[in-house]
Amino acid sequence: MRKITCFVLCLCMGTIFSLRAAIPLELVNNGDTSDSEIYWCILGAAGNGTAHTGKLCYVNPQGELIPAKLEDNDMVVCPKNGQSYPNYFFKLSENPPTYLPPMYGTRMFISKNSIMYLKIMGGENGNVGYAGQYVLKG
């Protein structure tokens, strides 16, 4: 049975929650798939523990919030369509963070064999957002 267990207050793709303090994170792979074939990404708005700052960030393997930028769209090229995308995904084998920093509107994405191709989009006042992959197309 292939299973990835995530012990984080029901932190799943599509779940919205708010954090006021760092919480522990443990990703455990109990399946047949190698940790080097499983990719994870955590996106959300930065917070300082008491306020929502509104800046889209991703979490790196050290548990740090890194601001998303339009320029990140040039990180990796999708082999299927030749377009450039950001790469905010990390292999499970790269040791995910042990604590999640304060964040708001957070999403966690997990994929197998490849990163998911998300696009960073520009908005008003220099803010950025993202467009997710169409999961029914693969």
What average pLDDT does the structure give for the chain? 78
**92-115 residue pLDDT tens:** 998 777 788 888 888 999 999 999
In a domain? residue 78 = no
In a domain? residue 11 = yes
Question: What is the domain extent for residue 63?
Answer: 4-71+87-117
In a domain? residue 80 = no
Count: domains in the chain = 1
Say whether pTM exceeds 0.75: yes
Cβ contacts of residue 64 below 8 Å, gap of 6+? 97, 101
- In which region does residue 71 sit, left (phi positive, over 0), alpha (psi from -120 to 50) or beta (all else)? alpha
In a domain? residue 82 = no
DSSP H or E run through 88: none
Provide the pLDDT confidence category of residue 43 given band limits of 50, 70 and 90. Answer: very high
In a domain? residue 130 = no
Distance CA 89, CA 76 (A): 11
In a domain? residue 58 = yes
More confident residue, 55 or 37: 37
Distance CA 138, CA 130 (A): 18
**50-84 residue pLDDT tens:** 556 678 999 998 888 899 999 999 988 888 788 88
- pLDDT, residue 53, reads 67
